[in-house]
Amino acid sequence: MARTAAVPVILEEEYESRRADLAKELKPNSLFLLLSAKPQQRSHDTEFPYRQNSNFYYLTGFKEENAALVIVRGKKAFNTYLFVQKKEKQLELWTGKRLGEKRAKKLFHVDNVFTSELLHEKVLGLLSKSKNFYYDFNVTDTRLDALREKAKSLLAHYNAATLVERARLVKSPAEIRLIKHAISITKEAHHRAMKLSKQLTTEKELQAEIEYVFTKNGAYSDAYTSIVASGNAANTLHYIENNKALKDGELILIDAGCEYEYYASDITRTIPANGKFSKAQKELYEMILNVEKEIISMVRVGVLRSHLQKRAQELLCRGLVSLGILEGECKKLLKKGKLNKYYPHGIGHWMGLDVHDQAPYKDAKGKEIPLCEGMVLTIEPGIYIDKDDKSVPKKYRGIGIRIEDDILVRGSGYENLSAAIAKEVQEIESM
Ligand SMILES: [Mn+2]
């Protein structure tokens, strides 16, 4: 079970070149500011595990709270500033070691490192010489409020997040290695679920087995809250209670992926609780699996996501008609929106530092961005049939199926990063 493969990392040089690329995008005489994420309280005296803001992390690789990145661009040249928490022995005794400004200066290729106490004063000084102020419009933070207030009348304001998110669309080789690593851990977790489903009695137990694999392998337990939905619960798209008993004869939809060093994986598999698909389950499952494979095979440079969505709708509609779940001509059924009841969601989303990667789907002019080499997206068709849907043949009621893989866009086509996770009926049953 030991994981021997070398663990991938992103080198400081890469963060440095990301900052340089970003600085080129700034207007001359600009100040760009990104803040670390704020800690989130869970209950009195208790916080959620700290998780760095993805945009801030993308440009710094710095994991501590109460930090800030500033890029000051003059006419051409630019300067970078990192603000970090001061080392304080007594506080570190409670909350863990801090890097401090001396070590940060050594490890991070930024021009200047200061302690966070100086952020307000330094940025105010730098702003007074700037014409444009970039900051994240969506962040509410007292550290930002005071600066924004002071800079209100002086400067033109731009959303810093938009620039970073655009850069995040295309993944570097190092990022792809991290995503692959996350997926390899998630693979082990899904395969464990397939092997154990027969002997476990509740969704919770299955969730625990999956997250055990995530945690044991050094991943953050989940990139998003795991969905372990058996039987009719699979027809609630964001079911996270995961508290039902597993029943013989039902399917279990498992949408779970770990986050490894900030990079997500997002995988759904639907498996039979007793280890064997019934005839009706298999019919529906194989129809969706064929659609998933066909949509994946369409992924290549230049393709539009909306085109994949449209094709998935056509194929799923045709499949439902062939199984007698929908009746009529597909074109008309789609026009009337008859498929939406059974397939209400999109075909997939960008994935990276966030499971639903915060990267744009449209360009500045509002035009859809076609697939480019290095993008990573999920492909996840599904069909959901409520147990009380009398319009559907009885054998299909109460079945919800989704199959989801993570796909890298390559020049010549695609690479299914999660191809090694079992999804053929035979493979799943033989586990
Ligand atoms: Mn997904």
On whether both 134 and 262 belong to a single domain, the answer is no
pLDDT at 3 exceeding the cut of 60: no
Whether residue 3 is contained in a domain is answered as no
Stretch 418-430: mean pLDDT, rounded?
A: 98
Query: What pLDDT score does 5 carry?
Result: 55
On whether both 138 and 184 belong to a single domain, the answer is no
Structure confidence at residue 298 as a pLDDT band (50, 70, 90): very high
Number of domains the chain is built from: 2
Strands 413-416, 405-410: pairing is antiparallel
Q: What is the pLDDT of residues 65-120, one digit of tens each?
A: 999 999 999 998 999 999 999 998 888 888 788 899 999 999 999 999 999 999 99
Of all residues in the chain, the percent with pLDDT exceeding 90 is 87
Given 165, 175, 222, 380, the catalytic residue: 380
CA 153, distance to chain mean position in Å, is: 37
Q: What is the pLDDT of residues 330-382, one digit of tens each?
A: 999 999 999 999 999 999 999 999 999 999 999 989 999 999 999 999 999 99
Closest CA to 218 of 168, 254, 175, 181: 181
Query: What pLDDT score does 90 carry?
Result: 86
Across all residues in the chain, what is the average pLDDT? 94
On whether both 267 and 181 belong to a single domain, the answer is yes
For residue 386, indicate whether it is catalytic.
no
pLDDT at 2 exceeding the cut of 50: no
CATH label of the domain that carries residue 28: 3.40.350.10
The one-letter amino acid at 329? E
Stretch 305-326: mean pLDDT, rounded?
A: 97
Q: What is the pLDDT of residues 242-255, one digit of tens each?
A: 999 999 999 999 99
Cα of 156 from ligand 1 centre, angstroms: 37
Query: What pLDDT score does 8 carry?
Result: 82
pLDDT at 269 exceeding the cut of 70: yes
On whether both 130 and 233 belong to a single domain, the answer is no
For residue 345, indicate whether it is catalytic.
yes
The token pair that represents 108 in the structure block? 């991070």
Last residue in a domain, options 167, 202, 227: 167
Whether residue 105 is contained in a domain is answered as yes
For residue 255, indicate whether it is catalytic.
yes
For residue 283, indicate whether it is catalytic.
no
On whether both 160 and 201 belong to a single domain, the answer is no
On whether both 135 and 228 belong to a single domain, the answer is no
Last residue in a domain, options 150, 167, 184: 167
On whether both 254 and 388 belong to a single domain, the answer is yes
CB 223 within 8 A of CB 390: no
Whether residue 1 is contained in a domain is answered as no
Question: What's the whole-model pTM score?
Answer: 0.95
For residue 266, indicate whether it is catalytic.
yes
Given 65, 402, 405, 406, the catalytic residue: 402
Query: What pLDDT score does 44 carry?
Result: 92
Structure confidence at residue 1 as a pLDDT band (50, 70, 90): very low
Distance CA 311, CA 197 (A): 33
Query: What pLDDT score does 307 carry?
Result: 97
Query: What pLDDT score does 249 carry?
Result: 96
For residue 111, indicate whether it is catalytic.
no
The token pair that represents 152 in the structure block? 């209100």
Whether residue 148 is contained in a domain is answered as yes
Given 103, 345, 389, 415, the catalytic residue: 345
CATH label of the domain that carries residue 249: 3.90.230.10
For residue 44, indicate whether it is catalytic.
no
Structure confidence at residue 222 as a pLDDT band (50, 70, 90): confident
Query: What pLDDT score does 56 carry?
Result: 97
For residue 389, indicate whether it is catalytic.
no
Domain that holds residue 227: 173-430
Q: What is the pLDDT of residues 374-416, one digit of tens each?
A: 999 999 999 999 999 999 999 999 999 999 999 999 988 999 9
Sheet holding 268-272, edge to edge: 227-230, 251-255, 268-272
On whether both 159 and 242 belong to a single domain, the answer is no
On whether both 279 and 245 belong to a single domain, the answer is yes
Whether residue 7 is contained in a domain is answered as no
Given 18, 181, 349, 397, the catalytic residue: 349
Cα of 15 from ligand 1 centre, angstroms: 27
Last residue in a domain, options 133, 167, 201: 167
Cα of 286 from ligand 1 centre, angstroms: 20
Closest CA to 314 of 249, 247, 381: 381
